[in-house]
Amino acid sequence: MTENQITRWLAKPAVFVAASVPAVILIYLTWAAYNGNQSAWPALTGNLSANPLEDITHQTGDWTLRFICITLAVTPLRRLTGWNGAIRFRRMLGLFAFFYGSLHFLTWAILDRFISLDFPNGVVSWTAVRTFAGSVGEDIYKRKFITIGFAAFVAMWPLALTSTAGMIRRLGGRRWQRLHRLIYFSAVAAVIHYFWLVKSDLRRPITYALIIAVLLGFRAYWARTHARPVRARTAVTERGVGNPVP
């Protein structure tokens, strides 16, 4: 097997499965909690606490941040080890960050907002849409930790939408790469979101802030010590943006 085949048929599917595990467990536990049950395999999956909404909100948020960190670690890993194959995992990892971010957003929008609203004209009506939008909008406007968290999520949308090979080609490597630096904003905004929401114990937000500071700091360091020739072009392959073509 060539490295290409190993990556494609073994490594990527394995990463996909591993990255899905938390979501599968959470969805299973939510379903069990909804039915008033506990996990049938508590040793394997754990259990939700007496406050499942809080668990789901925190877990999906944590996993979003973890995948943002893992995604941001790909480039430093590649630079430090010289293993360029790492780049082939980046898109999937980034999309998992977006996936967990979406679950986090939906948990808030549906379980925290939507369900607790009253819809006198039924759920399928203009007033329902207005009430829901008003409730979501009010929270985003009034509570700054939600404002910044929402901004972090919104900034991930263009990245997810332009993650396909076709979009990379259409945008051109340079522009695509510039656009995708938005992830730096999302990472920083997500950490600020975490800082602003905790009641008093800042240890976890500080941990994420340090990890992200190292990962972004590495890029700044690398850019200074490895300045590229002005006219070098960036190779764009269907698998992503690669090394500059000499």
The residues of the shown chain that bind another protein, judged by CB under 8 A, are 1-3, 6-7, 10-11, 14-15, 17-19, 21-22, 25-26, 29-30, 33-34, 42, 45-56, 59, 62-63, 66, 70, 77, 81, 83, 85-86, 89, 111-112, 115-116, 143, 145, 196-197, 199-201, 203
Q: Are 208 and 194 a contacting pair, CB within 8 Å?
A: yes
**Phi-psi label, residue 43: left if phi above 0, alpha if psi -120 to 50, beta otherwise:** alpha
Give whichever of 62 and 222 is closer to another protein, judged by the CB atom: 62
DSSP classification of residue 50: S
Q: How far is the CB of 48 from another protein (least distance, A)?
A: 6
Q: Which of 160, 166, 156, 161 is CA-nearest to residue 188?
A: 156
Give whichever of 55 and 236 is closer to another protein, judged by the CB atom: 55
Give whichever of 157 and 204 is closer to another protein, judged by the CB atom: 204
Q: How far is the CB of 10 from another protein (least distance, A)?
A: 7
Q: Are 191 and 216 a contacting pair, CB within 8 Å?
A: no
Residue with the two structure tokens 């406050």: 51
Query: Encoding tokens for residue 79?
Result: 């630079």
**List of E strands, the chain:** 233-237, 240-245
Give whichever of 46 and 137 is closer to another protein, judged by the CB atom: 46
Give whichever of 33 and 173 is closer to another protein, judged by the CB atom: 33
Q: How far is the CB of 18 from another protein (least distance, A)?
A: 3
Q: How far is the CB of 199 from another protein (least distance, A)?
A: 8
Q: Which of 24, 46, 27 is CA-nearest to residue 38?
A: 46
Q: How far is the CB of 103 from another protein (least distance, A)?
A: 14
Give whichever of 53 and 154 is closer to another protein, judged by the CB atom: 53
Q: Are 64 and 100 a contacting pair, CB within 8 Å?
A: yes
Q: How far is the CB of 76 from another protein (least distance, A)?
A: 13
Q: Which of 140, 132, 58 is CA-nearest to residue 100?
A: 58
